[in-house]
Amino acid sequence: MNDRIAWQAICQEVTKTALPILPHLRSNKLKSEVISNLFESKSEKYFNSIGIPVRACLSDRDPDLYFIKENKPLEIKVTRSPLPIMNSLKWMGGKYSKRNSDHIFIAWHYTEPTIIDPTNTITYMIAKTYVTEDDWVVLDNGNENYYATVFTSDNLLKKHHEIIVGEYNGAFISR
């Protein structure tokens, strides 16, 4: 399977579904949740459609995707970039994100329609790397009831990784 072709096709499906919805959402957090959820559902549908049996997560404790024949989990982490040039990206994760497995890190940028230019677009950068539990940094905001972990683009670049969609030239450039 060619990862580049697969993830480009998945990006197209996510974009097709998201573009009519995003102009109606005010919250960037909600927009990111929509994009993340679409990547999970569209990737499951895509891989199954090309004969690669995949199961999407049933709960937060499950991997985002589970490749059945290969017996391999895949985590999908999504973050929004306010600019098309994506510097200092952070992907957030909860307690169960710290699974030792391959991860797909997606950064996306949404260009809203304006009166001058009524088109809206979504551009992406997708990178793949293997992440261990120790690669995640626990955020401490001083509240003992708060728990979150973060994985940064600096961490990504220090690891062996592959840019699958978009490019890297001193900063991530979404395409």
DSSP secondary structure, the chain, as one string = --HHHHHHHHHHHHHHHHTTTGGG---HHHHHHHHHHHHHHHHHHHHHHTT--EEE-SSTTS-SEEETTTTEEEEEEEEE-SSSEE-S-EEEE-GGG--SEEEEEEEEEEE---SS----EEEEEEEEEEE-GGGSEEE--S-TT--EEEEEHHHHHHS-EEEEESEESSSEE--
Give 170's contacts (C-beta < 8 A, 6+ positions apart). Answer: none
Q: What is the pLDDT of residue 86?
A: 67
Q: What is the pLDDT of residue 96?
A: 67
* Residue 70 Cα distances to 28, 31, 37, 73, angstroms: 35, 32, 23, 9
pLDDT, tens digit, for every residue of 103-122? 999 999 888 878 887 888 89
Q: What is the pLDDT of residue 77?
A: 94
| pLDDT cut 90: percent of the chain above it | 50
pTM as predicted: 0.89
Confidence class for position 89, pLDDT limits 50, 70, 90: confident
Q: What is the pLDDT of residue 6?
A: 95
Confidence class for position 58, pLDDT limits 50, 70, 90: confident
Higher pLDDT, 2 or 107: 107
Residue 51 φ then ψ, to 5°? 85, 15
Q: What is the pLDDT of residue 139?
A: 75
